[in-house]
Amino acid sequence: MGRTPCCEKDGLKKGPWTPEEDQKLIDYIQKHGYGNWRTLPKNAGLQRCGKSCRLRWTNYLRPDIKRGRFSFEEEETIIQLHSILGNKWSAIAARLPGRTDNEVKNYWNTHVRKRLLRMGIDPATHSPRLDLLDLSSILGSSFYNPNSQMNSFSRLIGIHNSINPELLRLASSFMSSNNVSQCQSPNFLLQNVENHEQSHMVSQLQLLPHPHHQIDQSAATLPPLHEVSACCSPSTATSCGGETQYLEPDYYSSGHQLLLPSNFSDSYSQYCPHPNEDSSNNNVNGFNYPSSEYVHFPSLDVYGSIEEPLQQIMDPSPETSTLNSSPTPLNSNSTYFSSGNGNGTDQDERESYCSYNLKFEIPDLLDVNPFV
């Protein structure tokens, strides 16, 4: 049953195209157009099937095809559209002038998908990979006591199901160290990670806005989380027993809205002002926070649970960034960790860029110890 594949006919060539074949195809299409792919190869003098000719033309020879690396904006678009459309490569490519579905698909599979996996994000659902994370067992075994530091910590930052388990191990190691009660550098974890990958994971705990994006100072007027998330991806908001727990940035579908609990910074600064903080200009960790409303840290109960609604804190509009004045380059890995040789490659920069949307500026929470 089924039709015989067109390319199985005798004498039809397969495999890579030669420049001569390309030229024949181009010449023919320029002269006659590409009305009928089945008859085209014969008319063009090509020993190829029509399907092969069509693919070669649409994926490679078309004059309007844009070659070369994907730009940041293109990658951003791909991720966002993929979160909405899934593997509808042609639909995604239609939003990227000059890009083919095949190219988008390849780029996704070879770059974006892997990076998301490394970040502990399921590329299919754009949600944290729950298969890798059984936090309850981790917490249950190591921090069963609800008053334990790790439990409080995890609840505080709302990472029950959104953080790479390796990061949890690091955090666990850190929390069990003797330094917990001290007010330390926010880079403590970074100084103690073992490699780039771990640094990368730690960086996920740092919240910083996209370097191209302006802070939305009207964030305080935004709707509660459940309303915000309703217009974003369905996987972003979680609750646990009526307790709002949410720290996952909804980068993928909503234009990089980063959500944090309200009053987050208030509690934070109350307990442990950032060592680098310049109170006069809201400079924290080298980043000029436009206002105290930028990040609100939660009011904490005895267990550090987050009880207040979350807020959208960032505006996805990309053109009017005020962040370039930051004394620390925001699009450099060296901002947060110094692994590597400091000579960022394109790939490094790309990864750094992507990771920005997952950074949580909370390392000093490790210093906050209202539970002892």
Q: How far is the CB of 204 from DNA (least distance, A)?
A: 20
H/E run at residue 21:
helix 19-32
Q: How far is the CB of 196 from DNA (least distance, A)?
A: 11
Nearer to DNA, 2 or 241 (CB): 2
Beta-carbon neighbour count of residue 42 at 10 Å?
11
CA distance 332 to 265: 25
**Those residues with Cβ within 8 angstroms of residue 196's Cβ, 6 or more apart along the chain or in another chain:** 337, 339, 340
Can you read off the two tokens belonging to residue 262? 């309200």
- Give me the count of residues in the chain: 372
Vertex 139: Cα angle to 135 and 141 (nearest 5): 120
Q: How far is the CB of 118 from DNA (least distance, A)?
A: 10
**Those residues with Cβ within 8 angstroms of residue 281's Cβ, 6 or more apart along the chain or in another chain:** 288
Nearer to DNA, 22 or 166 (CB): 22
Q: How far is the CB of 267 from DNA (least distance, A)?
A: 41
Q: How far is the CB of 17 from DNA (least distance, A)?
A: 4
Interface contacts to DNA, rule CB under 7 A:
2-3, 5-7, 13-17, 35-39, 50-52, 54-56, 59-60, 87-91, 101-103, 105-107, 109-111, 114, 347
Vertex 212: Cα angle to 252 and 99 (nearest 5): 60
Nearer to DNA, 101 or 315 (CB): 101
Q: Provide the sign of the torsion angle of the four alpha carbons 252, 257, 260, 264, taken in this order.
A: positive
Nearer to DNA, 14 or 226 (CB): 14
Nearer to DNA, 118 or 183 (CB): 118
Can you read off the two tokens belonging to residue 152? 């409080």
Nearer to DNA, 51 or 169 (CB): 51
Nearer to DNA, 54 or 169 (CB): 54
Beta-carbon neighbour count of residue 173 at 10 Å?
12
Q: How far is the CB of 109 from DNA (least distance, A)?
A: 6
Query: 83: closest CA among 206, 233, 307?
Result: 233
Q: How far is the CB of 20 from DNA (least distance, A)?
A: 12
CA distance 20 to 17: 8
